[in-house]
Structure 1
Amino acid sequence: MMSIQGSMVTLICLLAPLPILAGAPEAISGNNYQQTLFTDDFSESELGNQWNLYKSSSVIKDGVLQGVELKDGGHAAVHQLLTKPYSDVELTVDLKFAGSPSTNLTFNQHKFKGSHAGHLCRVVVSPTKVTLRDGKTGVFNNEIFKKRRSKEKLTAEEQAILKKSQAVFPVKLEKDKWYTVTVRIKGDLMQAFIDGKLIGSLQSPGIAHATKDKIGLVTPKESIHYDNVIVKVP
């Protein structure tokens, strides 16, 4: 049996604030995002007009969007949401791993030519890690993307850019369990939250792109389940 003194020590430890790493950004407050730009709980049998599917065999079933890659499509299933342009944004989505190894929550600009396919930044969520990525200056930068596709060697400077343009954080997520994932972008800072807990941050110039207008829920293979998509801006 634990002694009274031991119980008091335990209580003090529980009440003591966790240490904050030097230089780590504070969590961006959800209070910064007051205007709802879009919401969808997939209560309809088909996706609305703002959605566009690419390489997808996805379906809405039981009020849930079930992301499924198109067979022999050669690309992950993409559920693209086109909105009016924004810079800062909060995306919230409930998701469940039902077979797929990961999902990408992407932020792009429609028809932007400054990076491959207009890719700007994204958060990749898997059961073991969350990756925050500035694609505009990193992996989807036109020159870097072209070299990687042709398997041409990157320069030391390009390799350094790739390293700085992403951050990886370990997590432990269960299959067939719902999680609420939130991505907040404020200026050049992007943060990922799971069930309200800050998982990680990335500060990088491409994140601050001022005219993002497309959000993607990207599902490789089969399947990720999505629900309760909410997009808010300041």
Structure 2
Amino acid sequence: MNLRFLTLASFLTVSTFAADAPKLPAVAAAKEKQMSGELRKPAEPTAKKKELLFSDDFERAELGKDKGWAIVVPTFSLENGALKGTQMRFDAPAKDGKPPVKGHQAVIGNDIPTKDSVIEFRFRLGGAQSVTAEFDDRKFNGSHYGHLCMARIAADKIILVDQKGLAVARPEGATGEPPTPKGRKNISFPLSLDPQAWHSFTLETVGDTMRASIDGKPVAFLQSPGIAHPTKSKVEFGCMGQGGFFDDLKIWNAEPVK
């Protein structure tokens, strides 16, 4: 091959690569951000409120059953006009012939069927590590306890989780991790919250998306197939740790914003 032609071709190749090279990290970073959800926090609401399904201001002496509440995992009480969660189940090894105990956050639930919805409440973390809002379908046996999707709020982050299809009972003798349902995702976004202050929280669930806002600002967004489960028959609220609070809870039916 002509040496002059080879030298020219090499120069063009190197020049082309050099011109493109600075762009590659930026493109990769943008794709990584998009994959992580950092570019997926819609500034405007994704759900339009319809009829109000449920509300509770907790302004009474006792929790009672008139509002339909049932404690799933101990325990909850009312304190100064707010709902207080106190975790009472912690990890413990087998002892004195008793089986080991698996720790679990305190959970309270209510049968409020929805498909698309908006949940609003105020919360104060207090001494708790996190508080949660979760949708379940107890008749759905494709997930542990019918869990579908959840938002978990801590002082330093919020996590949105597609739980559908997770931790399903497997045949005896099965080994290894259970398969992850196709397309299922969860996502974490950083926060910086004062745990002793009250904050407002909004969770919009429409189609296969969840959008969360705290104190009126969008903080998290997730699109994942399990969120679209059509029969979200139960809503639950959880507290991991001691003394997390909920107040002024409202739940609406909703429809996607067009």
Unaligned runs of 5+ in 1: 1-20
- Which residue pairs with 1:104 in the alignment? 132
Q: Given the two structures, how large is their TM-score scaled by the length of structure 2?
A: 0.71
Q: How does 1:35-114 map to 2 (within 5 A)?
A: 35-47=51-63, 48-70=66-88, 74-83=103-112, 85-114=113-142
Structure 2, unpaired ranges of 5+: 1-32, 91-100
Alpha-carbon offset, residue 152 of structure 1: 4.7
Which of 149, 157, 177 pairs up with 1:121? 149
Deviations 1:165-207, CA, capped at 9 Å, x for gaps: 1011000011210011111011001111101111111100100
Query: How far did residue 221 of structure 1 move?
Result: 2.2
Q: What is the TM-score with the length of structure 1 in the denominator? A: 0.78
Structure 1 stretches of at least 4 aligned residues deviating more than 6 Å after TM superposition = none
CA contact (8 A) 2:158 2:191 kept: yes
For the 8 Å contact 2:47–2:204, the answer to whether it is kept is no
d(CA) in 1 for partners of 2:136 and 2:51? Answer: 20
* Change beyond 3 A, Cα 1:41–1:151: farther
Whether 1:153 aligns to 2:176 is yes
Q: For each residue in 1:89-129, what CA deviation from the matched residue of structure 2 results, as whole angstroms up to 9, or x when unmatched?
A: 11111000111111121111133212110100000110001
Paired residue total: 204
CA RMSD in angstroms, aligned pairs only: 2.6
Q: Could you tell me how far 1:141 is from its partner in structure 2?
A: 4.8
In structure 1, the residue matched to 2:17 is none
Instruction: Show the 5 A alignment for 1:157-196.
Output: 158=179, 164-196=184-216
Amino acid at match of 2:192: K
Q: Report the more deviating stretch, 44-53 or 26-35.
A: 26-35
User: Counterparts of 1:126 and 1:96 in 2: how far apart (Å)?
Assistant: 10
The AA in structure 2 aligned to 1:174 is D
Deviation by residue 1:120-165 (Cα, 9 ceiling, x = unmatched): 000011000100000004xx2516xx69xx995337xx46958x51
Maintained 8 Å contact 1:28/1:186: no
Query: Could you say if the C-alpha distance between residues 198 and 151 of structure 1 is closer, same or farther in structure 2, counting changes exceeding 3 Å?
Result: farther
- For the 8 Å contact 1:190–1:202, the answer to whether it is kept is yes
